[in-house]
Amino acid sequence: MTDYKEGKILLLDKPLDWTSFDVVNKIKYALKKDFPKLKIGHAGTLDPRATGLLIICTGKFTKRITEIQDQFKVYTGSFFLGATTECYDTEKPVNQTFDISGITENDILQNVEQFRGLITQTPPAHSAIKINGTAAYLLARKGKEVNIKSREVNIYEFDITKIDLPHIFFRIKCSKGTYIRSIANDFGQALNNGAYLSTLRREDIGEYSVEDAWKIDNLIQHIQEESKPEDESL
């Protein structure tokens, strides 16, 4: 059996509506019998409404989490133009709508340039960023005011791959700490309109690709088969 205690990097294709911790806990439970005190963690959160590459590190390889987190990310997805939500994605209902009849394809394409290179963005109030030790989203859910400092991030590539209004499809390559939800919200504001992130998929983290990732059910099945005594697996 694979020695997960010595260290293993697992690439997972996170399903829609799973939290990153759901994935970690599922794998940890599957390995509990053979590795009861196994260290395990993920190298970069994916929001519940996002799918795609989630990297899980086990055992001694948990020391590599920071190194992996520091690498660039590639995302594909879509913005919905003409509406906003409180959390900038589809976890919350639409709270405001806008007329998009005057917005042209050229307006959208020209709008992209200001989001390339080094940009300053403010992460959403509904995020895992800690404020005095408490996750911002927990404060936001209680209706408390959340003041998150803006940060500088690097957008290496930002391409519009398709426009089918109200949907705008994109591919973004960015530095760590970038909130694509914030780009969606800011993109709408820059058009004197509104937008939210309607779909998101993480394709790559540095050299790691979702094309090489396990589906969660397949990985659990693999772990269970590895765990069987040799005479049972014959």
Catalytic site positions? 47
Residue with tokens 């992209």: 112
For 165-188, b/e burial (b = at least 16 CB within 10 A) is ebebbbebbbeebbbbbbbbbbbb
Taking the CA atoms of 226, 227, 229 and 231 in sequence, report the sign of the dihedral they define. negative
Instruction: Looking at the chain, list the stretches that DSSP marks H as alpha helix, in order from N- to C-terminal side.
Output: 20-31, 65-69, 105-112, 136-141, 180-190, 216-227, 230-233
Q: Which of 178, 181, 153, 190 is nearest to 86 (CA)?
A: 181
